[in-house]
């Protein structure tokens, strides 16, 4: 794993802090002095995974850069709920232009800072999955290909939630959305479509690519910190459950992220220059059903007319991730 | 108009938007009852003293003081308690229960090693309490009464204080240095101890005191009629253990049979082995799973070569030989004779069939009710005679050192209230912190450390302590395996996981956290992700 394991019993690596730990061993989120880059009063739904993920990432980046940080945001939930004119929840320099041009604007900000000789000010670009995998994809690929000095973060909640829960290129198969209804003999989103932007980013052979979830805070923070040690294009893909769009209980946001990782649905790994260098192994493996059942977008797979065949196909996808990335617990391979 | 192009409003912060108004449920920090505390017969606040011990260093003394609030015998407890806390421990459902007893022993031994003491911090009340019997229950009551400022006199029939801790529990389970140190600490509070001072006429004596606590125990071995030949060597387990403690080396012969299946039977058999018996065999009328002896005692006895004969009763004792009848369990689990007889070679027979109380001192005390050989008491430990309380083995409840110590504490609380003519505040028992209230994801995998045992060879030849203590590092690790069920242990998770920054972390250690109700939307993530289940959701008043 990317972070140093805390050899302290009772709790160790998994909680945010712990009174028994030295302050410098605590996560950024456990410190009273954290930046709170995304502060209170934002209009995200109850239990929003994206709001949580954005604060995790940017607070860690602020710490890694001593507060010399600019954020560029594509259009999406994160932008809308944080900045209804004239209010802002952002406690760092923050810039928004369009849905599709986030990576390009971020690249431009990096170029401008370089031109002004402000090499120590770093740039984070951020967007939801719509702004990353679909609408901003061309700009993102360009940013990667030019190796612009930007950490681009995708908060992946698997759909266009802000506009009413439509399918994106990151929406998983069988999930029902406003335009992939749970109807017909192949209900929900179709199998065999969509894309993995982390793998596409790796194909650009940029310095650093990583995935993370809001369920493993220390892992996420370590990856942000590591990303800031590189110059050039870096990509971080953070899995952020959406209570509204997924039809899940607002209290289950972190639990669902944990189940996604523990079932193998969402592989958590790191890659440098196109090669996978580390994976977060599964700690307590669960069948995908445990992950699917609490979500209303998969309700049509269970209930009165269950579709065990589709659940099995989703399990196959998880098993493929497990085999492909070597996610089984140590000693279990 | 000095605003930039197309800007008409000043920039504001979203903190003007009080999202707390969205909330329908509110997260509240609560304390649930940890199962260990719930199960402790002495009423120890185990989760809380483990919390202190987890800090290491100065924390051990704080932990010890927390134990001492409830129980003046941490080092004794860490050896002889049958730890129902560990049976109840939620961690048992995760990997293996926390070794609470071993941590208690470490903390208790540290206190003796470093000479920690307690003091009486209240002015004398001027009231005098008589405690009859210097066993665990009497000493516990004396300790708590003394710390509340009462003048306590203990009258003990025997030559030394300790009761069954000294004359019932062999040295190999409880070192006498440890017992002496913890008894002395109680006497150092100003408790007066009169030895060899058997109370024979309580009714007269009680008028010299403002209240009385009876804790004379149960030290008469229960007899069973077994036809015995004239040369048969039959003795009582209680007498055997007491005799050994007083320095006798009773002649038991090479083969010793012990009749009974309780802890005293185990102790008698193990003592016989140490006294040189090459064979000690326990004869019990039921099966192993139905025997009342504690599992650890059974295991240790087996380790030491003690043999067992299940489903057997003794029908005849002759010199060097017993006649045994095979039993069968009937449908209700009760043993029934089968008529099949066999013989067993034994040079002596030790009876360990339970104990009874000598209640002759109570003659003439008005109102006092004796039923089935024990004294009836109310929930406040008071007998039918006002001002006379009783506890320990002489009242109807499970008999163990820990239960007796708990009785002493409870009686002291009610004696104190009775003396000041107050009704004690009823203890609040919050809902139990069951396993399903925890989020066990957050706890590290940490296998339990078991205490080392003395070499077997030395266990058969000496009365040295069998179970050894943990070193500091191991004790600390074991303490940190505690899940802190139902109670905040400051892991910062709630502060970390709130999507709305609505959990405020207070700066001073121990102050913990506050929910910022201006912004809390009531999503419940902090509740779901609290490892110990110390936050609960409650509906908002609408």
For residues A58-90, one letter each, b for 16 or more C-beta atoms within 10 angstroms of the residue's C-beta and e for the rest, the string is bbbbbbbbeebbbbbbbbbbbbbbbbeeebbbb
DSSP letters spanning B337-403: EEEEEEEEE-SEEEE-S-EE---GGGTT-TT--EETTEE---TT-B-SSTTEEE-GGGSSS---HHH
Determine, yes or no, domain membership for A7: no
Q: What ranges make up the beta strands (E) of chain A?
A: 69-73, 87-88, 94-96, 122-128, 151-156, 208-213, 234-239, 269-272, 275-279
Contacts of B444 in chain A (CB under 8 A): 6, 8-14
Question: Between the CA atoms of B264, B265, B270 and B274, what dihedral angle is there, to the nearest 10 degrees?
Answer: 90
For residue A134, the 8-state DSSP code is I
For the stretch A37-82, pLDDT in tens is 999 999 999 999 999 999 999 999 999 999 999 999 999 999 999 9
For residues B130-167, one letter each, b for 16 or more C-beta atoms within 10 angstroms of the residue's C-beta and e for the rest, the string is bbbbbbbbbbbbbbbbbbbebbbbbbbbbebbbbbbbb
For residue B223, the 8-state DSSP code is P
Question: Between the CA atoms of B110, B113, B116 and B118, what dihedral angle is there, to the nearest 10 degrees?
Answer: 90
Structural domain span for residue A117: 23-325
Question: Between the CA atoms of B308, B310, B315 and B316, what dihedral angle is there, to the nearest 10 degrees?
Answer: -20
Q: Is the pLDDT of residue A6 over 60?
A: no
Mean pLDDT throughout B246-252? 87
Contacts of A36 in chain B (CB under 8 A): 501
Mean pLDDT throughout B486-498? 94
Helix (H) or strand (E) holding B212, with range, is strand B211-214
Position A1 confidence tier, pLDDT thresholds 50, 70, 90: very low
Mean pLDDT throughout A302-331? 94
Q: Do A88 and B13 touch (CB under 8 A)?
A: yes
Q: Do A40 and B480 touch (CB under 8 A)?
A: no
Q: Is the pLDDT of residue A269 over 70?
A: yes
Nearest to A236 by CA among A204, A282, A269: A269
Percent with pLDDT over 70 in chain B = 100
* Fold category of B128-220+356-419 in CATH: FAD/NAD(P)-binding domain (3.50.50)
Give phi and psi for A235, each to the nearest 5: -135, 130
* Phi-psi sector, B510: left (phi>0), alpha (psi -120 to 50), beta: left
Q: Do A51 and B499 touch (CB under 8 A)?
A: yes
Mean pLDDT throughout B291-296? 90
Pairwise CA distance, residues B530 & A233, whole Å: 37
Q: How many domains, in total, are found in chain A? A: 1
Q: Is the pLDDT of residue A7 over 70?
A: no
Contacts of A250 in chain B (CB under 8 A): 521, 523-525
Pairwise CA distance, residues A15 & A118, whole Å: 36
Determine, yes or no, domain membership for A186: yes
Tokens of B64: 């010890």
The CB-side HSE value for B464 (13 A sphere, CA atoms) comes to 12
Helix (H) or strand (E) holding B503, with range, is strand B503-505
Pairwise CA distance, residues B462 & B464, whole Å: 5
Q: Do B525 and A36 touch (CB under 8 A)?
A: no
Nearest to B495 by CA among B540, B533, B525: B525
Nearest to A271 by CA among A216, A213, A203, A219: A203
Degrees to nearest 5, angle at CA B116 with B114 and B117: 155
Contacts of B495 in chain A (CB under 8 A): 16-17, 29-30
Q: What CATH number did the domain enclosing A300 receive?
A: 3.40.50.970
Residues A141 and A177 sit within 8 Å (Cβ to Cβ): no
Q: Do B444 and A10 touch (CB under 8 A)?
A: yes
Pairwise CA distance, residues B283 & B281, whole Å: 6
Please confirm whether the linkage preceding A86 is cis (ω < 30° from 0).
yes
Nearest to A132 by CA among A203, A74, A217: A74
Residues B408 and B138 sit within 8 Å (Cβ to Cβ): yes
For the stretch A276-315, pLDDT in tens is 999 999 999 999 999 999 999 999 999 899 999 999 999 9
Question: Which residue's structure tokens are 């066993």?
Answer: B135
Contacts of A37 in chain B (CB under 8 A): none
Mean pLDDT throughout B260-277? 93
Predicted pLDDT of residue A10: 64
The domain segmentation of chain B, as residue ranges, is 18-31+488-539, 128-220+356-419, 224-352
Rg (CA), chain B: 28
Give phi and psi for B403, each to the nearest 5: -60, -40
Nearest to B13 by CA among B518, B522, B494, B525: B518
Helix (H) or strand (E) holding A246, with range, is helix A243-246
Percent with pLDDT over 90 in chain B = 76
Which residues is B154 bridged to in the sheet? B131, B193
Residues B277 and B355 sit within 8 Å (Cβ to Cβ): no
Q: Do B491 and A17 touch (CB under 8 A)?
A: yes
- Of B395 and A141, the structure prediction assigns the larger pLDDT to A141
Helix (H) or strand (E) holding B235, with range, is strand B234-236
Pairwise CA distance, residues B381 & B390, whole Å: 6
State the best of A11, A85, A92 to mutate against chain B, taking most chain B CBs within 10 Å: A11
* Fold category of B18-31+488-539 in CATH: Alpha-Beta Plaits (3.30.70)
Predicted pLDDT of residue A4: 52
Tokens of B477: 């690790």
DSSP letters spanning B186-204: HHTTT-EEESS-----HHH
For the stretch B153-182, pLDDT in tens is 999 999 999 999 999 999 999 999 999 999
Q: Is the pLDDT of residue B542 over 90?
A: no
Q: Which residues contact A277 (CB under 8 A, 6 or more apart)?
A: A270, A271
Mean pLDDT throughout B501-530? 93
Determine, yes or no, domain membership for A259: yes
The CB-side HSE value for B416 (13 A sphere, CA atoms) comes to 21
* B224-352 is classed CATH 1.10.1740.10: no
Position A332 confidence tier, pLDDT thresholds 50, 70, 90: low
Pairwise CA distance, residues B169 & B448, whole Å: 27
Nearest to A83 by CA among A105, B495, A92: A92
Mean pLDDT throughout A216-245? 97
The reply to whether B224-352 shares the fold of B18-31+488-539 is no
Q: Which residue of A has its CA nearest to B445?
A: A9
Of A55, A86, A255, the CB nearest to B10: A86
State the best of A5, A15, A23, A30 to mutate against chain B, taking most chain B CBs within 10 Å: A15
Give phi and psi for B292, each to the nearest 5: -75, -15
Contacts of A84 in chain B (CB under 8 A): 14
For the stretch B298-337, pLDDT in tens is 999 999 999 999 999 999 998 888 999 999 998 888 899 9
Q: Is the pLDDT of residue A170 over 80?
A: yes
Pairwise CA distance, residues B285 & B288, whole Å: 10
Predicted pLDDT of residue B221: 86
Q: Is the pLDDT of residue A2 over 50?
A: no
Predicted pLDDT of residue A17: 86
Position A12 confidence tier, pLDDT thresholds 50, 70, 90: low
Tokens of B405: 């110590």
Q: Which residues contact A163 (CB under 8 A, 6 or more apart)?
A: none
Q: Do A13 and B444 touch (CB under 8 A)?
A: yes
Tokens of B127: 């009231």
For the stretch B50-93, pLDDT in tens is 999 999 999 999 999 999 999 999 999 999 999 999 999 999 99
Predicted pLDDT of residue B212: 96
Tokens of A238: 């953070």
Give phi and psi for B394, each to the nearest 5: -85, 0
A43 touching B, CB under 8 A? yes
Pairing, β B355-356 against β B128-132: unpaired
Q: Do A36 and B501 touch (CB under 8 A)?
A: yes
Q: Do A16 and B495 touch (CB under 8 A)?
A: yes
Predicted pLDDT of residue B509: 72
């Amino acid at each position: 794993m990317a972070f140093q394991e805390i050899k302290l019993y009772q709790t160790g690596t998994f909680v945010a802090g712990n009174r028994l730990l030295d302050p410098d061993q605590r996560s950024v989120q456990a410190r009273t002095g954290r930046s709170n880059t995304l502060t209170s009063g934002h209009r995200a739904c109850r239990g929003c995974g994206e709001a949580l993920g954005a604060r995790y990432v940017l607070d860690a980046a602020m710490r890694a850069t001593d507060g010399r940080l600019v954020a560029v945001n594509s259009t999406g939930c994160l932008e809308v709920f944080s900045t209804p004119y004239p209010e802002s929840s952002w406690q760092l320099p923050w810039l928004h232009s369009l849905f599709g041009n986030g990576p390009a604007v971020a690249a431009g900000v990096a170029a401008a800072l370089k031109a002004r000789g402000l090499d120590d000010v770093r740039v984070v670009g951020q967007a939801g999955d719509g702004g990353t995998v679909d609408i901003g994809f061309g700009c993102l690929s360009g940013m990667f290909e030019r190796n612009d000095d930007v950490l681009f973060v995708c908060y992946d909640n698997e759909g266009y939630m802000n506009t009413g829960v439509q399918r994106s290129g990151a929406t998983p198969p069988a999930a029902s959305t406003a335009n992939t209804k749970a109807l017909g003999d192949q209900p929900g989103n179709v199998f065999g479509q969509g894309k993995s932007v982390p793998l596409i980013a790796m194909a650009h052979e940029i310095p650093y690519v990583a995935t993370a979830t809001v369920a493993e805070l220390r892992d996420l923070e370590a990856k942000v910190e590591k990303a800031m040690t590189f110059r050039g294009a870096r990509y971080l893909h953070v899995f952020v459950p959406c209570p509204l769009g997924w039809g899940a209980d607002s209290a289950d946001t972190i639990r669902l992220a944990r189940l996604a990782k523990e079932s193998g649905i969402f592989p958590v790994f790191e890659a440098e220059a196109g090669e996978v260098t580390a994976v977060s192994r599964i700690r307590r493996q669960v069948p995908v059903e445990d992950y699917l059942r609490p979500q209303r977008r998969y309700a049509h797979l269970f209930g009165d007319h269950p579709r065990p065949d589709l659940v099995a196909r989703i399990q196959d996808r998880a098993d493929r991730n497990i085999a492909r990335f070597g996610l089984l617990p140590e000693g279990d391979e | 108009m000095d605003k930039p192009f197309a800007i008409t409003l000043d920039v504001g912060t979203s903190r003007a938007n009080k999202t707390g108004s969205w909330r329908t449920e509110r997260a509240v920090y609560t304390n649930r009852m940890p199962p260990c505390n719930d199960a402790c017969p002495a009423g120890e606040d185990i989760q809380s003293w483990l919390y202190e011990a987890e800090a290491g260093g100065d924390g051990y003394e704080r932990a010890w003081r927390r134990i001492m609030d409830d129980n003046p015998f941490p080092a004794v407890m860490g050896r002889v308690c049958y730890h129902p806390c560990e049976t109840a421990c939620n961690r048992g459902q995760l990997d293996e229960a926390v070794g609470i007893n071993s941590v208690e022993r470490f903390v208790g031994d540290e206190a003796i090693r470093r000479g920690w003491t307690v003091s009486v911090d209240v002015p004398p009340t001027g009231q005098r309490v008589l405690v009859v019997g210097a066993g665990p229950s009497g000493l516990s009551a004396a300790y708590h009464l003394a710390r509340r400022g009462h003048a306590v006199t203990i009258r003990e029939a025997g030559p030394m204080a300790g009761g069954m801790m000294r004359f019932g529990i062999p040295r190999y389970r409880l070192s006498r240095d440890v017992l002496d140190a913890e008894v002395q600490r109680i006497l150092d509070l100003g408790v007066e101890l009169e030895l060899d001072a058997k109370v024979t006429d309580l009714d007269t004596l009680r008028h010299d005191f403002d209240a009385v606590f009876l804790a004379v125990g149960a030290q008469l071995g229960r007899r069973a009629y077994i036809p015995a030949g004239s040369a048969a060597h039959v003795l009582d387990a209680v007498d055997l253990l007491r005799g050994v403690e007083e320095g006798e080396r009773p002649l038991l012969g090479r083969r010793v049979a012990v009749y009974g299946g309780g802890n005293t039977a185990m102790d008698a058999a193990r003592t016989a082995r140490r006294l040189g018996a090459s064979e000690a065999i326990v004869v019990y009328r039921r099966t192993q799973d139905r025997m009342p002896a504690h599992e650890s005692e059974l295991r240790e006895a087996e380790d030491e070569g003690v043999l067992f004969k299940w489903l057997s009763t003794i029908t005849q004792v002759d010199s060097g030989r017993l006649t045994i009848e095979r039993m069968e369990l009937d449908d209700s689990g009760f043993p029934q004779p089968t008529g099949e007889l066999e013989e067993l070679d034994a040079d002596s027979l030790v009876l360990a069939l339970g104990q009874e109380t000598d209640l002759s001192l109570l003659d003439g005390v008005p109102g006092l009710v004796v039923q089935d050989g024990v004294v009836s008491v109310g929930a406040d430990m008071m007998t039918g005679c006002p001002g006379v309380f009783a506890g320990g083995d002489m009242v109807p409840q499970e008999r163990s050192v820990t239960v007796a110590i708990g009785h002493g504490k409870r009686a002291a609380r009610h004696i104190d209230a009775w003396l000041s003519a107050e009704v004690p505040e009823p203890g609040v028992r919050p809902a139990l912190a069951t396993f399903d209230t925890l989020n066990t994801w957050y706890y590290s995998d940490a296998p339990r450390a078991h205490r080392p045992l003395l070499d077997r060879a030395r266990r058969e030849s000496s009365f040295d302590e069998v179970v050894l203590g943990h070193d500091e590092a191991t004790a600390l690790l074991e303490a940190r395996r505690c899940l802190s069920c139902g109670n905040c242990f400051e892991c910062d998770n709630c502060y970390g996981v709130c999507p709305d920054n609505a959990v405020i972390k207070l700066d001073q250690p121990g102050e913990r956290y506050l929910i910022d109700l201006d912004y809390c939307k009531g999503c419940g993530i902090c509740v779901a992700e609290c490892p110990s289940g110390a936050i609960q959701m409650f509906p908002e008043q609408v």
